[in-house]
Each structure stands twice: as C-alpha cells, then as structure tokens.
Amino acid sequence: MNREEQILDYNYNDFDDNALGHVMKWQGNQPPLGKPAPDFPLWKLEEDGKTLTETTLKTVLKENPLTIVEFGSFS
Amino acid sequence: MNESATRLAEQGVGSIFLYTHEAHPGENYPPHRTMEDKAKCAQGMRDVYNVNRPIYLDDVAGALHIQFGGMANMTWIFNKAGVPLYKSRWTDAKSAENAATYYLDVQARRKNRERLAPFMVERIDYRDVNKEKRLEGLGRAGQKAVDDWVKLYEQDKLFFKPGTDPGA
C-alpha cells in the first residue's frame, strides 16, 4: 500500500467487521513486554489546540520513571 | 483516567493521551485524512471531556497505534527506558493505577537493593459497562457512530470473550 492507501485503510469510514478484524489486532506482532519498544514520531498538541510539536515516543517516556499511555480518540 | 493521573502524578508517574484514529467515525468526528483533521478532533476531545493529560498525536496513518495492537482504547505502561511493562486491551483507571502502584513499589525495592527478577503474569481485569453512557458518547460523534456500534453490538461482537480474538 502506498501512503495514501494506508491513511484510508487506517482511517476507515465504517466501524464494522473490517475494523474489528483488520485494524484491531491485539494478538498481532506487538512489541514484547520487558524489552525496549521501537521508537515512533509523535506530535504534541499544544494548548492552542492547533500547534503540533514533533517529538518521539522515547523522548516522552524519558520524562518520568513510569508513563501511562492511554490510546483513544473522541469517538 | 483524569483523577487517577492526578493522583499518580504526585508520585512521579506521567500520563499521556495518545490520539489515534476515530474508532467510531461519525458526522461530527469523521475519519482523518490529514494531521490537521486529527488535531481538530483531538482538541474537540480535550474541550468536551476535559482531558488533563498531555495529548500526543500518532501519525495520520497510525504507525505506532497499529504496531501496538490497534485497539480503540487500550493502555500501555512504560518505564523510563521505553520498556513496556503492562498492556491492557481496554483502558480502566483502576487496572492501570493498580499496575502503576505495583511498579512504583518495585522501583522502591530496587533502590533498597532488593534482588528482583522479572516474570510474566496474565490476568483478567474488569471494567464498567454502561450502554447508555456509551451511546451518549457516540452520539456526540454523530448518528453514524451510534448506528455502526449498535449494529455490531446486536451481533454480539463488541466484548472480549475468553478464548476469542479480536473482540473489543
């Protein structure tokens, strides 16, 4: 898939069987517990609600001895 | 999670919200096509639900979210070295706080030079299920979000059942 197809695939239009079985893969190839996870770029949503400041997951995790990461969205 | 995050912050535990895709896209919160779309929805969530934790956006194609399992509202806990210690396919404040408190104790014991070795543990935790509240939240995203959810709910496909996957 090219970049545009990946965006459309991940940001599906319908919450249906495809979303359950295709995007939500809990038993997939997740980073294992107990070993350093791969790093990824992240963008911090600043207080103005518009500005995005680029950082990385590892940079964020270094800020505290432990970090709880809740994944989710409005919907 | 807001109250839990506040309590844990006093003990040095960080908490962030990692904004993914719209799991239940609706008329008011449609699927993202750009980072600007995603930022707008994330700010809407911060305004409506008063999220008190820093909000970070994953890439619009979901690279991080997909790698970590792609569940709609999962929680992971990491140590400072970026090592995941806990993962939960659904977010529950009591479950996450219980785990974080345990790991704080482990860190304190290590500072006291106790010799500790890691081991794997699996468990089932329990979360609140409130259909009316869920539908109210989905309704804010739009009627389509409600209709899609109800359709799968009526097919009994939305809740984890031991021995099955993916569930949600």
Domain spans in chain B, listed from the N-terminal domain onward: 2-119, 128-168
Which residues of chain A make contact with B61, given a CB cutoff of 8 A?
Answer: 3, 6-7, 10
> In what side-by-side order are the strands of the sheet with A41-45?
A52-56, A41-45, B55-57, B13-19, A66-72, B75-79, B84-88
State whether residue A45 sits within 8 Å of chain B by CB: yes
Q: Where are the domains of chain A?
A: 3-63
Quick one: average pLDDT of B136-155? 94
Confidence of residue B167 (pLDDT cuts 50, 70, 90): very low
Q: Do A66 and B77 touch (CB under 8 A)?
A: yes
Superfamily designation of domain B2-119 = Glutaredoxin (3.40.30.10)
Question: What does the alpha-carbon distance between residue A7 and residue A17 come to, in Å, rounded to a whole number?
Answer: 18
Q: Do B29 and A75 touch (CB under 8 A)?
A: yes
**What ipTM score was computed for the predicted complex, to two decimals?**
0.95
State whether residue B79 sits within 8 Å of chain A by CB: yes
Q: Do B21 and A11 touch (CB under 8 A)?
A: yes
pLDDT tens profile B26-37:
999 999 999 999
Which among B43, B140, B166 is the nearest to A21, CB-wise? B166
**Chain B residue with the nearest C-alpha to that of A49:** B43
- Residue recorded with tokens 């569940």: B71
Confidence of residue B2 (pLDDT cuts 50, 70, 90): confident
pLDDT tens profile B75-133:
999 999 999 999 999 999 999 999 999 999 999 999 999 999 999 999 999 888 888 99
A70 near B16, Cβ under 8 Å? yes
B117 near A70, Cβ under 8 Å? no
pLDDT tens profile A44-75:
999 999 999 999 999 999 999 999 999 999 99
**Chain A residue with the nearest C-alpha to that of B60:** A7
State whether residue A53 sits within 8 Å of chain B by CB: no
State whether residue B51 sits within 8 Å of chain A by CB: no
Q: Do B41 and A33 touch (CB under 8 A)?
A: no
